[in-house]
Amino acid sequence: MMRTILGLAVLILGSTGGEIAITHGMKATGEPARLRPRELLQFLGRALCNGWFWAGVPLMALSFYALLVLLSWQPISLVIPASALSYVVGTLGAKYILGEEVSAARWAGVVMVCAGVALVAAG
């Protein structure tokens, strides 16, 4: 049971950390001026030179491998709903790390996700 909890922690923190890092990098990179090949290549070049982007990629890879390991240990009916806790961590990260405004409706959604995970964990 302890290895499953540790695996879920790696999955959730890795995926959320990667998403937050990549989001930060993409916001710093900006958006392409137009959807033309030259502007898209320039955008891609700026993104690939962004350190936050490269910090997020290994975290996302780590979370993927944690998912694979968890799926070899536990049934998918437990792993996937439990991994939904990343919505909670992601929302907290969006608010406190990225400085995003989180509406009451989104917080209500987070509470509903937590309730659903608790129901699944209860069996």
Instruction: Name the residue ranges covered by the structural domains of the chain.
Output: 2-122
Task: Give this prediction's pTM.
Answer: 0.81
C-alpha 95, offset from chain centre? 14
Q: Do you know the residue count of the chain?
A: 123
Residue 26 predicted with pLDDT over 80:
yes
What percent of the chain lies above the pLDDT cut of 90?
Answer: 59
pLDDT digits (tens, 9 = 90+) for 83-120: 888 888 999 999 999 999 999 999 999 999 888 888 88
116, 81 in Cβ contact below 8 A?
yes
**Cα radius of gyration rounded to whole Å, the chain:** 17
The per-residue pLDDT for 100 is: 92
Mean per-residue pLDDT for 16-25? 94
Tokens of 102: 């989180």
pLDDT digits (tens, 9 = 90+) for 53-68: 999 999 999 999 999 9
Considering only residues 1 and 74, tell me which one the structure prediction assigns the higher pLDDT.
74
Residue 121 predicted with pLDDT over 80:
no
The per-residue pLDDT for 1 is: 83
Residue 78 predicted with pLDDT over 90:
no
